[in-house]
Every structure is written in structure tokens, then in C-alpha cells.
Structure 1
Amino acid sequence: MFMCCLSVISSIPDSKFPCSPLTREEIENHLSTKTPYRVRQNLNEEPITFEDCQPRRIWSVIRHGTRNPGKKDIKKIKKVLGKHQGKILNNPDVQMCQKELEKMKSWYFKAQPEQEKFLVPIGEDELIELAERLQKRFPALLTEDYSQKHYLFKYTATQRTLKSAESFCTGLFGRHKLSQVLYPSPVHKDPILRFYKLCTRWKNEVDKNPEATVEVDKFIETSPLIEELLKEVRGVTQIKDLSFDDVSLMYKVCGYETAWNKYGEHSPWCNVFRTTQSLQVFEFIEDLDYYYIDGYGFEITHKQACPAIKDLFEHLEPTSTHPNATFYFTHSGTVLKLLSHLGLYKDDFVLTHNDFDKKRKFETSKIDAFASNIQFVLYECDDGEPKVLTMHQEKVVTIPGCPEDSLCKLSTLKNIFKESLECDFDGICQLNQSEESS
């Protein structure tokens, strides 16, 4: 649709309006779960060593890299933003600078519906480079020689996690050894990698429950920040009837296209936003949504992650017969639920629609970027006490109850997660007969 709009534009009139003051860095830091991993990666590749201790085992959960949107979003972006592109370029009063108008004129959305949620090239790079850095930090543990006895790689039944796993293995072993790597058959409702797909109670009480989005709805319906945002974007585009959904779609495309483009400029749709606050408004909406669906909003949401925790300890046990290096490639929902189960990034208040101005730890732009990852590394020490290092996005983090920025005794971690190790998943997740029949 948008191509027909462009065909009537012979030239773009000179603009005297200034460009958006937002820098690429400002934009990239407020894209919620569409944040490219390059913003969060740790480029310090020095080996992580502790006196009298040697790394022996690693267990890791990794979100897939940067991807395409879903099919519905791809179709909507092409149709709705194609129409708005034509309106912008045909209106001489649009408050965008010449450079922004030129970029808007050349814009077209590359993703096709049949490529929905596919990993994109930059997503492959994210996983390759992550593997290379981890290998440099733990060279004795993550060897360049693949062995099924030493390595376990597992992904869900999706293209984006399969390609993420293959890219990660490319970083470890090189492309010429990829054919040697064996993977278990992928499962869509994997009990470890996507436990929430099997949790009936969570689906009913949270995921499909309108109450879970109440705080998001209240913020959108009552906050004066929404009206400020709409006024800003309507003024820039000179499209007076722009809806909130339209502007939300612009933010979404801003995120995807900026994440896709590592070396070039941000998406032309980012230019409709003139203040950092506008990006932060959408970021806050995303944080509210994920807080209740995947985070601390409901106890069952993070409590159901116990199968992953149980699997973690089975693999970290010094006498375990499991492979020494375990890497699971999964999704945002798994990473956020697991982080919450671990007690990380928990604020001392319940996040509500009134908390836009509050400083918070639960910020999806910071904790759930594309390719976000969690590592647990077991160290065997000369004192005979096995200890564990925990890392999130390649940085050392402290599990509540463990020593700050250091190794934590395996026995201490087991005590902290004693209930998780027992893990009555069916008891947590299954509705009883009276609930099912009601």
C-alpha cells in the first residue's frame, strides 16, 4: 500500500525544521525487550579466575538473538505505517528536517510475513560473539573441540532458537565443525526451556487474565504523559488523527529496525519522537506489562520456574554424569521468569501505573535485551567446597543470600532454593477439578 503513496511524490520540498535531538545511543537504551545486545554486552574478555579454584561446569540459559516481528505485526507495519509514510511525505508542513524526510522517503519494511520471528543476521552475530567471549573467559572449560559428552546444546521448536544455537556453536567451534554438533529433538512446550507453556494455572490466572494488564491500561488511560506523547508525534508528523496504537507501532518499528542496523543510523520512525521521555513512556508500558506477565506481579509467574532451577543443580553437581557445559536457547518469557525466581532486579515496591518517575531495578531494556543470557559456573576449590559464580549478560551478579560479587557455596545456593529443588510443578500449575469445571 505504501508504495502507491510514494509514487505520487516527485520531490521533497525543502524543510526548515530541525532534526530530532535524540541520539542513537539514547534510542538504543530505551527499546525494552527489542534492545540490541550490543548495548548490554560485556567486552571484557579476561579469564575469570579465583585463587585455588578452577571452573569445571557451566549451565546457561540464553535468549535468542535479534529477530523479525510476528506475522500480524509485519502486515500491520506495512499497511498502517505505509499509509502514514505517504501522508508525511505529501505534507509540506511536516516538522521534520530534510535528512529525516529523505530517509522517510526511502523507507520500506524489509521483513516478510513468511519470515515471522526469524533470527536476522545481526542476531546471528550476537550469539557468535557471545560464545567467543565466554570461551576466552573460560578457556579450559569451553574448549574448541566438540564432544557430546562435554557439551549439551538444546533449543525450542522455533527457527530463532535453532539459528541462535547454531550461531553460538559457530563462535565456539567454527563453521567447519557445525556438522559434528548433535542436538536433542526440539519440543515446543519444553518442560525446562519453556515450562510456562505447560502451566495451566499461570495461563488462566495470568497470561489470559485481563486483571494482569490493569496497570498498563490505567497508565495509558489516565496518565497525562500519554497525551503529551500524542501531541508531540502528531505535531511532528502533522497527522492530527494519529491514534495511540499508531504511535505505538512507530515505537515498535523504531526498535526493530534500530536493532537490525549495527553500523548505520537508527530507524527513520525513531525521528517522530523528539524527547527521551517519549521513549521512556513506551519503555515503562513494556516494563509494566512484563512485570505482571513474566516477572514479580504474580507469585505463580516466577514460582513455576522451578523445573529450570532443579535442572540447574542437577547439572552443576560435581559428581553429575551430565555434560560439563550446558547451553539452553530459549525466549524472553523464560529469562524474565528465571531472573525473578532467582530474586534478581526485585524492587522494594510493587510496580504500578503511578511509578513512572520512580527509579526501578526491573527495567526490561537493561535486563532482557535480545540474546540476554544467564550463566552459572561451578568452581572446584582446594578447600573441597564447590562454589558457584552467577552471571547475567556477562556480568557477575549476586543471588540474594550469597556473598557480594564473589563465589557462592553450592551448599548455600541449594539451601536458598531448597523449595525449588523439591519443585512440585504439577501442584503449582494444575487447576483442581472444581476450578476446571467452573
Structure 2
Amino acid sequence: MGVKQALFLLLGLFSIVVCSKNFPCYWNDKCMYDMFGTATPYDSVRGDLRDQVEDDGCEVLSIWSLHRHGNRNPGADVTRNISALQAKIKHLLHDPTVHLRHHNNCAQDTDDLMNWRWNSTLDSSASYLTGTGYEELYDLGRRIEIQYQNFLKSVEKVHFRATNQQRTVTSLKAFVHGMTAGTPSLANLSMGIHPPLDRDDVLRPYENCQRYQDEVLHGQLLTDELAAYDTSPEFLAIRDELQSKLPVDYQLTHTEVFTLYELCRFDRSWSEKLRSPWCSFFSIRHLLVLEYRDDVRHYYRNGYGSWVNSYLGALPLKDLYENFVNAIEGKKTLVSYFTHDTMLDMVFCALGLYKDPKPLQGSAGIKWIKKEENDDSQDTDPMSRMWRTSEFAPFASNFIAVLSRCDESGKQTHRVRLFINEKPTPLCPEEGCTWQQFLDIFQVFSEADLDFCAKEWAESGAGTAAFLTGRSNTKIGMATILFVLIITVLSVL
């Protein structure tokens, strides 16, 4: 570890201790935790394409991108659950016969909760893109326009498409709006918007895969892992701790613990200051544990919990491969798709990214204990995991590929740069993959199809395809190391 890294670690530890000791109230907490699984705001984790240096000797030939929609309202079931829970707690708060408990709460936090009002428009706009979500995609479109303006002015073929949901269709419009707002001459790019398809095997192949529906989405493994989490002593202990933090005497069920977390993470995401009084009951440790539950759910529903997910993730990558092969000899092309976190998760699995040495587990992963001294197995600390949806699947997450033709020592070559959330990926060097390196990674996807979805498809080869093997060069960022230190410090405070 270098001196600079050591200093970062020491500063991280120092800030955690200072925050824990000097800022006991939520309303003026200077060290807010900002990782909330798939409800994490995009700006909390993104990079910036404008900071990526483009080689002067290269000309962009094609850009292909896959996007998750921006910030949205919670779905219908979650909306009903959070509406019911907030109504119960708010009723008790305003009942003059109920004694308010102040010993575990700051007065300002309680006041903020009492003054909070339910937004009734949520009842009729489940899963809709929010104004915040529109801004996330608009701003991304602006950054792409600034970074690749010369390419956009000369592009010859444009294709934008979204799934048939309000949140993805509107995200697409926001993206194109941002891309064209600053440069009137680019207004014609909006002509490349195509209507959603009734069946879209590029953006939602899992909807047309019966094996996925039966064995994964509604399979027993996903149910069992979440049940193991929800009934573990560690999770139930958190329920008791949260109950003691409520300003009223209310007995939370284990399902209401996550409902309260949903209310916290959605409501804060719509606040300019990224705060919600519903988050005031949660410690950093609580948020880390609940974040892990979201990761477990996505791991088994969309990720490495089933080989089926990696096969499904190959379909968009086949489209990427074919577009770049055609672009080398054809027209300059811009292709952007708008889909859901399910598809992004699957694509990252097909690429072998964010793959842990051992599977995530619903119960074992939240014990937060050190291994026994004689245990030489892989580290089981969940904070060291690579599969962290907060980092790779926030709202408005994306996978962007840029194909360029370069003049290197008088010789014409091609390079491909790959970005996840506007940051370079470990799949390619910082300067980009050579064309051969690109082929080595992506050519295997040219054979992708949905034949494996049929029940009669032989499973003997499942899990052995090249795109299921994973990549050992996936890196754990400094943020993950600091998360581990957070747990260590909190355990002794």
C-alpha cells in the first residue's frame, strides 16, 4: 500500500470517528451514507466522460450504449406498503394521547418527521420517471454532446429505442433532449427515436425466456436466500434497534423494516439535500446491512446466482458486437438503448464483471464477524464483495462503448473504449482495447440466442460458455476498502 493510499485510509477512519462522536443528529449529520443499492442517485457514483482524454489521432466511428432509466417512483406494491406504514406512524405522531419518546431522537429530527407530508401523486404514478430522473438522463446527454460533438455532427445512422415503459421512454427523451439542447444543428438526432417493440429480445430477453421466469425469477433459490436474510438473528436485532429509535411505540414486523428502508431511500433521492426524516432512525451499520439485502436479491434474480442470467446478458452484447463490426466498413452510427437494472445486471454478468470468489448468501453475509483464526477460506466479510449494486446499478446506470479509427505511426488501427457509469472498465486498458482485444472479448456473443430458454434444451453445457468464466482483473475500489474500515470502527464505538 502506497503512502497516498494509507493517508486516504487514515482520513477515512478519522472522519468516521469524528462523525460518530460529534454529529449524533440526522438533520445536521456531516457524514451521510449515500449508498442505497439500486435506488442510489446516479451522481453519487458516476464518473464524467468529459474528463476522458481522447487521442487527437483518433476519429470516433460509432457509439453504442445501454442505459437504465433514471430515478423513478417506487412500484405499485412498494408504494402501497410505504403509504400504509407512514400513515400508521404519522397517526401516532399526531395523536395527542400518545407519548412521544425523545431519549433516542433529536428534537429537530422528530419535528421534521411530524412536518413531513405524503405526496398523494405517488398513488397514481407508480414506477414513473421523476423530475430527478429526467435531469439524470438530460445531464448525461449534455456530457456526451460536449465530449463527442464532432462525431454527433457527422453521424450518419442513429437508433434510439426504449422498452415499453413510461420511465424508459421518458428517459430516452430526456437523454436526446440533453444531447441536442446546446447545439441546434443536432436537433435532427431526435429523428432516430424508434417506438418500443412488443417483443424486444435485446432490451428485455428475460421476459421471453420461460426458463428464467420459472427457475430464476420465481425459483426457490431466490426465495430461500431472502428468507434466510429476513429471519436471521442479526436482521431481527436491527428491527429491535429501529423500534427503539422510533419516537412512538410501534412494533415493526420484519417486512416493515425493509419497507421503512424503502421509504427512506426513495424519499431522500427526491430531496435536493439527499435527506429524508425517515432515514433518521438508521445508523450506518443498519444501512450497510439493508444495502446488502438488495444486493442478495439482485445476485439471485439477475446475477451470478444462476447461469441463465449470464446467457440472457449476452443478447445486448451481440447487438454491440454486430454494430461495431458493421461500423468499421459502413456508416458512422449512434445506438442507444434504454432498459432496466435487470438487463444491466445480466450484461455485467455476461462480461464476468463484479464476480465474487464465493456466492453471496442471505444469512451468512450479514453476520459482520471475523473469521476464526484457523479458517483459511475466502474472506466472507460482505463489505469486501465485488457485487455491489450501489456502484454499478444506480438509477441512470449505463454501459457505453466507443469505437474509434486511429492513425498510429502511419498505420490505421481501431480502438474501443468501454465505460460503466462514465468510468473506464477493467475490460480494456485506459487507452482502449485494440480491435483484436475487442474481438477476443465480444466475438463469443455473436452466437447468442434464446434457444436455452426452452425446457428441452440440454443443460449439460450450462455455465461453461466463455462469457460465463468471469475475469480475474476486476478491481475492488478504494471505496470498498473504506466500507470495510467503517464496519471495523463502528464495531468498537
TM range (shorter): 0.7 to 0.9
TM-score by length of 2: 0.77
- Give 2:32's match in structure 1, choosing from 23, 26, 33: 26
Distance of 2:274 and 2:51 partners within structure 1: 31
SS at 2:231's partner residue?
helix
AA aligned to 1:334 is: M
Do 1:70 and 1:113's aligned partners in 2 also have CA atoms closer than 8 Å? no
AA aligned to 1:430 is: A
Do 2:160 and 2:337's aligned partners in 1 also have CA atoms closer than 8 Å? yes
Do 1:18 and 1:96's aligned partners in 2 also have CA atoms closer than 8 Å? no
- 1:153 alignment counterpart: 160
Distance of 1:348 and 1:22 partners within structure 2: 39
- 2:288 alignment counterpart: 280
- 2:63 alignment counterpart: 58
| 83-92 or 386-395, which deviates more | 83-92
TM superposition shift of 1:246: 1.4
How is 1:163-312 mapped onto 2 (pairs within 5 angstroms)?
163-174=170-181, 177=187, 180-222=190-232, 224-237=233-246, 238-261=248-271, 263-273=272-282, 275-312=283-320
Deviations 1:91-122, CA, capped at 9 Å, x for gaps:
32253222112211122222432211111101
| 113-122 or 236-245, which deviates more | 236-245
- Give 1:39's match in structure 2, choosing from 44, 47, 72: 44
Q: 1:139 to 1:361 in 2, by over 3 A?
A: same
TM superposition shift of 1:67: 0.4
AA aligned to 1:56 is: L
Q: 1:159 to 1:129 in 2, by over 3 A?
A: same
SS at 2:413's partner residue?
coil
TM superposition shift of 1:87: 2.1
- 1:107 alignment counterpart: 116
- Give 1:78's match in structure 2, choosing from 64, 79, 83: 83
TM superposition shift of 1:44: 6.1
- 1:98 alignment counterpart: 107
Distance of 2:254 and 2:315 partners within structure 1: 39
| 82-91 or 98-107, which deviates more | 82-91
Q: 1:180 to 1:352 in 2, by over 3 A?
A: closer
AA aligned to 2:451 is: G
Do 1:64 and 1:371's aligned partners in 2 also have CA atoms closer than 8 Å? yes
SS at 1:391's partner residue?
strand
How is 1:5-24 mapped onto 2 (pairs within 5 angstroms)?
19-20=25-26, 23=29
- 1:8 alignment counterpart: none
Do 2:61 and 2:332's aligned partners in 1 also have CA atoms closer than 8 Å? no
AA aligned to 1:270 is: C
1:386 aligns with 2:414: yes
Aligned-residue identity in percent: 26
AA aligned to 2:77 is: K
AA aligned to 2:229 is: F
Give the CA RMSD over aligned residues. Answer: 2.5
- 2:323 alignment counterpart: 315
Distance of 2:43 and 2:198 partners within structure 1: 28
Unpaired stretches in structure 2, ≥5 consecutive residues? 1-22, 367-380, 460-493
Q: 1:231 to 1:180 in 2, by over 3 A?
A: closer
TM superposition shift of 1:203: 1.1
Q: 1:119 to 1:21 in 2, by over 3 A?
A: closer
AA aligned to 2:73 is: N
1:327 aligns with 2:336: yes
TM superposition shift of 1:25: 5.7
AA aligned to 2:422 is: E
Deviations 1:211-239, CA, capped at 9 Å, x for gaps:
223222212222x3212211211101143
AA aligned to 1:221 is: T
TM superposition shift of 1:83: 0.8
Deviations 1:13-60, CA, capped at 9 Å, x for gaps:
xxxx9624894763322x100001110222462453136322221100
Deviations 1:107-140, CA, capped at 9 Å, x for gaps:
2222432211111101111011111112222222
TM-score by length of 1: 0.86
Do 1:142 and 1:172's aligned partners in 2 also have CA atoms closer than 8 Å? no
Unpaired stretches in structure 1, ≥5 consecutive residues? 1-16
Q: 1:365 to 1:180 in 2, by over 3 A?
A: closer
AA aligned to 2:46 is: Q
- 2:393 alignment counterpart: 368
Distance of 2:30 and 2:59 partners within structure 1: 41
Distance of 1:58 and 1:324 partners within structure 2: 7
Distance of 1:235 and 1:178 partners within structure 2: 58
SS at 2:419's partner residue?
strand
1:431 aligns with 2:455: yes
Deviations 1:189-216, CA, capped at 9 Å, x for gaps:
4111111111111111111112223222
SS at 1:242's partner residue?
coil
Q: 1:415 to 1:292 in 2, by over 3 A?
A: same
- 1:419 alignment counterpart: 444
How is 1:121-136 mapped onto 2 (pairs within 5 angstroms)?
121-136=131-146
Q: 1:319 to 1:413 in 2, by over 3 A?
A: closer
* Number of residues of Structure 1 aligned to a counterpart in Structure 2: 408
SS at 2:72's partner residue?
coil
Distance of 2:190 and 2:447 partners within structure 1: 36
Q: 1:133 to 1:93 in 2, by over 3 A?
A: same
AA aligned to 2:159 is: L
